[in-house]
Structure 1
Amino acid sequence: MEEFFAPAYGVDGEGKRMRKPVGRSWRAAELRGKSFEDLHRLWWVCLKEKNALMTDRMYYNQVSVEMPDSSRVRKVRKTMARIKRVLSERKMAVDRAIAAADSVDLGEPLPAFEGEMVTLKKFGRKYEVPSDHPMAQRPTRAEHKEWARRRGRRDRFLARQAAIEAARAKGLDDLPEDVRKWYAEREAGQLQAQTVDDAIGRAEADTRFAHQEEGLGALRAAAAAEVEEAARERARAAKDAGSSDDDDRA
């Protein structure tokens, strides 16, 4: 009992009360997160504190003196009451869980012979899809093959276009002969389309020249004629410039 009369709980040798700040009591929400061991330890601490305070109260009553700090007793009692409530809640939860587990019908036990292993297998009813449902309308084998053929052709075309664009970014010299020829024809067609009809866009010109191979020859001839005409104009201009220089010297 000597630890109950320590200066923190009782009166020191000189008869003066030890003045220490008193904290608050434990809340129920804080106690619910504690384990059984922590609650048991806290209950034992509160019990020792309560016994020490009751001893102090008895001493003060004998000498007819009011106890200096009476709120400390109320806080200890509140903490102990909340510990009991939390333990009661846990006991009720365990009892309800056991009752619910006992009420579950586990079905008829499956007997097993010696050395035989029993495995639980889940059997489910097969769900029939209605005939008008989209999942029930599966494509035929021919339709699937046609779709796969179109998909493969599109993938090959996209891969070729990506390779051509990547090679063109590096330079036309790295491209094959047929690809360089195709690029030259397309650029000539685009130039001719801009000079003949400004309303025709580049995309439409590409589409038209790709589907109309017979027009490529005429376009190439027109482009070559324009190039030759431009060369003649440059030669004529150079000749005129040379003759004018001769006249000036004369």
Structure 2
Amino acid sequence: MHASAPSAGMEEFFAPAYGVDGEGKRMRKPVGRSWRAAELRGKSFEDLHRLWWVCLKEKNALMTDRMYYNQVSVEMPDSSRVRKVRKTMARIKRVLSERKMAVDRAIAAADSVDLGEPLPAFEGEMVTLKKFGRKYEVPSDHPMAQRPTRAEHKEWARRRGRRDRFLARQAAIEAARAKGLDDLPEDVRKWYAEREAGQLQAQTVDDAIGRAEADTRFAHQEEGLGALRAAAAAEVEEAARERARAAKDAGSSDDDDRA
């Protein structure tokens, strides 16, 4: 990044000639685009300060050129440079404002944390809050204060070793089973055969039980349907008897009228 020397004079605020081409015309430094905010967010405070100073000098030089062109009543060439410099300076201000707001929010959040009141310990001592937890004394009758004995350590180690050996054997058996039952020991093959036979037998028993339950449900359904059919037939017979009785009563009343 460019930074001017401390001993530079007023000529730094004017556009210098960077060379002469074949026709003898003055050549200026090529101008690119303005800086983006995303690019400026990755810069340090020192780099932003240097870039701000470079943009400020460029802006002063362009304003001086604009004043000169206004005095001689000539339109200023390449006026987009002023706009690019102003955009870069505005984005630098925005990035610095974002950083200032982030610092203020962090300070406010740190100040708003309630550390609480110190609590008394078991024996009259004050609880000291440490970085990795709290310091306090555990009562002697608490289970956490009772250290395991040597025999308990040995028992735990024996159980862990037995479990590790069992898991290793199971992994080896599963790996051999993936390759085929022929690679397994005799007792393991026998165990797998018995398990498969037991599963098949259990499946057969379950199927038989399921069929029996289905037959029972069907029998109950048939009994219910038979009862419904008998009730419907009784209702039909009762209705027929009622109609016959009504017809008989109607015939007897007609005979009485004729007599």
Larger mean CA deviation between 32-41 and 118-127 belongs to 118-127
Gap runs ≥5 in structure 1: none
Q: How far apart in 1 are the matches of 2:61 and 2:209?
A: 103
How far did 1:53 drift? 0.5
Residues 5-44 of structure 1 deviation map (CA, whole Å, 9 limit, x = unaligned) = 2415999999966444320000000000111110000000
CA–CA distance in structure 1, aligned partners of residues 44 and 56 of structure 2: 18
Which secondary structure state, in structure 2, belongs to the residue aligned with residue 120 of structure 1?
Answer: strand
CA distance in 2, matches of 1:90, 1:160: 60
CA deviation profile, 1:220-243 (whole Å, cap 9, x unmatched): 999999999999999999999999
- Cα deviation for residue 3 of structure 1 reads 1.4
Distance 1:177 1:244 in 2: 100
Equivalence for 2:87:
78
SS at match of 2:208: coil
Deviates more, 1:159-168 or 1:204-213: 204-213
Relative distance call for 1:213 and 1:59 in structure 2 (3 A) is closer
2:170 counterpart residue number: 161
SS at match of 1:117: coil
The alignment-based identity, stated in percent, is 100
Q: How many residues align?
A: 250
Q: Tell me, which stretches of 5 or more residues in structure 2 are unaligned?
A: 1-9
Residues 133-174 of structure 1: CA deviation (Å, up to 9, x unaligned): 999999999999999999999999999999999999999999
**Residues 209 and 11 (structure 1 numbering): CA distance in 2 closer, same or farther, change over 3 Å?**
same
- For 2:247 and 2:22, locate their aligned partners in 1 and report how far apart those are by CA, in whole Å: 128
1:178/1:145 Cα in 2 relative to 1: closer, same or farther (>3 Å)? Answer: same
Q: 1:231 to 1:207 in 2, by over 3 A?
A: farther
Query: CA offsets per residue over residues 189-242 of structure 1, 9 Å max, x none?
Result: 999999999999999999999999999999999999999999999999999999
Q: Aligned pair in 2 of structure 1 residues 13, 128: CA closer, same or farther (>3 Å)?
A: same
**Helix, strand or coil for the counterpart of 1:212?**
helix
- Within 1, Cα distance between the matches of 2:240 and 2:197? 17
C-alpha separation in 1, matches of 2:158 and 2:229: 35
Match of 1:55 in 2: 64
Residues 109, 223 of structure 1: CA spacing in aligned structure 2 closer, same or farther, 3 A cutoff? closer
Corresponding position: 1:136 with 2:145 = yes
Cα distance, 1:108 vs. partner? Answer: 2.1
Deviations 1:57-98 (A, max 9, x none): 111111111111101110000000000000000011111111
- The alignment's C-alpha RMSD in Å is 21.3
* SS state at 1:201 partner: helix
- Structure 1 residues 120 and 191: CA distance shift in structure 2, 3 A: closer
Give 1:122's match in structure 2, choosing from 118, 131, 136: 131
Query: 8 Å contact 2:128–2:135 — kept in the other structure?
Result: no
- d(CA) in 1 for partners of 2:96, 2:232: 98
Assess if the C-alpha contact under 8 Å between 1:129 and 1:136 holds in 2. Answer: yes
Shift in alpha-carbon separation, 1:9–1:173, aligned structure 2, 3 A: closer
- Following TM superposition, the consecutive aligned residue runs of length 4 or more in structure 1 with deviations greater than 4 angstroms are 8-17, 109-119, 121-250
What secondary structure does 2:209 align onto? coil
Q: Cα 1:129–1:87, aligned 2, differ >3 Å: closer, same or farther?
A: same
